Amino acid sequence: MGKYSFDYSIDTSGMAKISLSNAGIIFSREAIEKLGFPRKVNIGLDRQKGVLGVCAADENTTIKAFDFVTNEKKRNWIRIQSKQILNEIQKIAKVTLGKESIPYLATTDEEDGKIFLIVELKKK
């Protein structure tokens, strides 16, 4: 181990982020880009692992899909409002969402050729 213990995660500008507030789930431009600018997305929660997952919705999906990149303006910033999902997130993350948004770094994962944005809700 070296002489210093540097924290290189201080400046997160330019990284994919998903922010949470009582107004909704907010996606940064980088997060939207990592998903490939889909028209609709599915949002799921793994309660045991404390993880939020977002992926492009299949064209003929039978599960709830949220409008995502529906016009050019939404390539830079999107907010999805779902009280049910926000209530579950608050329970999992053990936070109270208010006006001020709480940013979380989003990573990508791939399963069966599908790209997922992953947010560990128990880490900020």
Within the chain, what is the greatest distance between any pair of CA atoms? 55
How many of the other CB atoms lie within 10 Å of CB of 64?
A: 14
Q: Look up the domain containing 93 and give its range.
A: 17-120
Task: State residue 34's pLDDT score.
Answer: 95
Which has the closest alpha carbon to 43: 23, 28, 61, 29? 61
As averages over each run of 10 residues, the pLDDT of the chain (124 residues) reads 72 82 95 95 95 93 91 91 95 94 93 93 77
* Total domain count, the chain: 1
Are 88 and 95 in contact by the 8 Å Cβ rule? The answer is no
3-state secondary structure (DSSP) of residue 66: strand
Task: State residue 92's pLDDT score.
Answer: 94
As a whole number of angstroms, the distance between CA 25 and CA 64 comes to 15
